[in-house]
Amino acid sequence: MRATGWLLTAAILTTPLSAQAQSRPDQKAFLGLYKELVETNTTLSAGSCTQAAAQIGARLKTAGYADADITYFSVPEHPKDGGLVAVLKGSDGSIKPMLLLAHLDVVEAKREDWVRDPFKLIEEGGYYYARGTVDDKAQAAIWSDAMIRFKTSGYKPKRTIKLALTCGEETTFAWNGAQYLATSKPDLIAAEFALNEGGGGRIDDNGKRQLLAIQVGEKAAQNYTFLATNPGGHSSQPIPANAIYELADAVKAVQGYEFPVKFTDTTKAFFAASAKAMPGEMGDAITKLLANPEDKAADAIVSRDKAMHSTLRTTCVATLLSAGHAENALPQRATANINCRIFPGETVDGTLAKLKELAGSKVTVTANQPVRPTAIPPTLDPKIMGPVTKVAAKHFPGLPILPLMSTGATDGIFFEAIGIPVYGAPGVFIDKDMGGIHGLNERIRVASLYDGRDYLFDLVKAFAG
């Protein structure tokens, strides 16, 4: 009854997309593209990135791109995991191209867990709700829309602009389109630099913009498997050796452990600016922690903010569990997936050693394949920061721009591995709880999406000339 009432309330509050929410013709056209992309299921289990890429490609063709300007890619073993690369040729061949990168795939979303249909774009209370509204279809739609607007307006850039829409970013064991491009078609995506997800901006609970962030570096994502095994037996005669209990003890040990605080040049700059912007207890604690990373009291205060907590250190968390084979039998096998986000400078093997220490002798710990490349942090290049700052002054006057190390991981690692520095573009603001990304009822403020779109359009033009 409670679940039924919950869904009924949601149905009453939900309203159709408002035609008046977007006053400009170009915004209405963008909404059509964004809506189509969001409502195309691109989960690994049931969706198709290939379909989403084809839909974007059709819009590019309508805008005037020739067949030679668009390259679709996939492999026979993964026909639904395809993507595309589109090219708007620049007039000055002496200037290296720029690359706009976004991924089409999204995290799984179970309809029974969501208030609204996760694959239906719904506008409600000033937000768009659906899986992928932020991660990463906002970026994919904005980049695709910009390429279309450039073509239809007759814009002639000096610098060649490339767009790469890929699949496989959200699942480490999936076929990865960005990795495929970097290893099999490097000339197709060759660029001086790339703009990707990972940056953005943060909004407080009242909808006020707090800061603008450009991602400069990221953590490495790595999964580990905890495995406990026992002979099992009849559940009517339990014994101390129980695979579930042994696994639970190991997982609790991971929960109770905090990796040490560390800083990179990027995170030092981020926290120094944050200390100035956050007077009082938080600002004082950040200042103390910068001076002494082993200050536990200061760490406790700063780490109340989950984003700052994760920016300070490696984190590991249990994300999947599986145990037992029958309800009336002692478990013979229990496993857990531990998802780690490894701080730059630390290693997969070093983290494995710590997890083995925490798990104890009764649980086996292994690093899952594939082991991805370690992120190579790009520099705070004035050629990047200059246009970012100048365009931001027009769209978001007075707002500080902070270099940010992403606590997540992106497909930028594959392009950095072949010498293309990748930056997480600022511009799209999300709520401080991350807007339900990877969780339930993912959302983005309508105003944030359109404001970010305008900023990023102007930013690309500033880079392209």
pLDDT tens-digit readout, 157-211: 999 999 999 999 999 889 999 999 999 999 999 999 999 999 999 888 888 898 8
Give dist(CA 215, CA 311) in Å, integer. 12
Which CATH code for domain 220-259+314-367?
A: 3.30.70.360
Q: Which of 404, 23, 421 is nearest to 216 (CA)?
A: 404
Residue 273 has pLDDT above 90, yes or no: no
- Structural contact between residues 445 and 131, judged by C-beta atoms closer than 8 angstroms: no
Grade residue 21 by pLDDT with cuts at 50, 70 and 90. Answer: low
- Residue 400 has a pLDDT of 83
What's the farthest any 2 CA atoms get from each other in the chain? 79
- Residue 279 has a pLDDT of 84
Q: 136 preceded by cis ω (within 30°)? A: yes
- Structural contact between residues 224 and 367, judged by C-beta atoms closer than 8 angstroms: yes
Give dist(CA 246, CA 260) in Å, integer. 26
- Residue 114 has a pLDDT of 97
Q: Could you tell me which residues come within 8 angstroms of residue 356 by beta carbon, excluding any fewer than 6 positions away?
A: 365
Measured CA distances, 224 to 206, 235, 320, 327 (Å): 39, 29, 11, 27
- The more confidently predicted of residues 409 and 167 is 167
Mean pLDDT over 326-346 rounds to 96
DSSP 118-164: TTS-EEETTEEESTTTTTTHHHHHHHHHHHHHHHHHT---SS-EEEE
Which CATH code for domain 2-218+375-464?
A: 3.40.630.10
Residue 402 has pLDDT above 80, yes or no: yes
For the chain, what is the mean pLDDT?
92
Mean pLDDT over 415-443 rounds to 94
Give dist(CA 9, CA 2) in Å, integer. 11
pLDDT tens-digit readout, 239-266: 999 999 999 999 999 999 999 999 998 8
Residue 11 has pLDDT above 70, yes or no: no
DSSP 16: P
- Residue 10 has a pLDDT of 31
Grade residue 456 by pLDDT with cuts at 50, 70 and 90. Answer: very high
- Residue 373 has a pLDDT of 82
Measured CA distances, 270 to 209, 273, 452, 453 (Å): 17, 5, 21, 24
* 33-41-321 Cα angle (round to 5): 140
DSSP 411-462: THHHHHTTT--EEE----EEETTGGGTTSSS-EEEHHHHHHHHHHHHHHHHH
pLDDT tens-digit readout, 79-130: 999 999 999 999 999 999 999 999 999 999 999 999 999 999 999 999 999 9
Residue 14 has pLDDT above 50, yes or no: no
- Residue 433 has a pLDDT of 85
Neighbours of 318 (CB within 10 A): 17
- Residue 207 has a pLDDT of 84
Q: 24: which 2 tokens? A: 């400009």
Residue 59 has pLDDT above 50, yes or no: yes
Mean pLDDT over 322-329 rounds to 97
DSSP 262: -
Reported residue count of the chain is: 465
Residue 12 has pLDDT above 60, yes or no: no
Give dist(CA 371, CA 57) in Å, integer. 32
Grade residue 375 by pLDDT with cuts at 50, 70 and 90. Answer: confident
Give counts: helices (H), strands (E), the chain.
Answer: 15, 19
Q: Are strands 333-342 and 315-323 parallel, antiparallel or unpaired?
A: antiparallel
Residue 297 has pLDDT above 70, yes or no: yes
- Structural contact between residues 188 and 181, judged by C-beta atoms closer than 8 angstroms: yes
Give dist(CA 358, CA 246) in Å, integer. 12
- Structural contact between residues 108 and 118, judged by C-beta atoms closer than 8 angstroms: no
Residue 293 has pLDDT above 60, yes or no: yes
Q: List the chain domain ranges.
A: 2-218+375-464, 220-259+314-367, 262-301
Residue 336 has pLDDT above 60, yes or no: yes
Element (H, E) at 334: strand 333-342
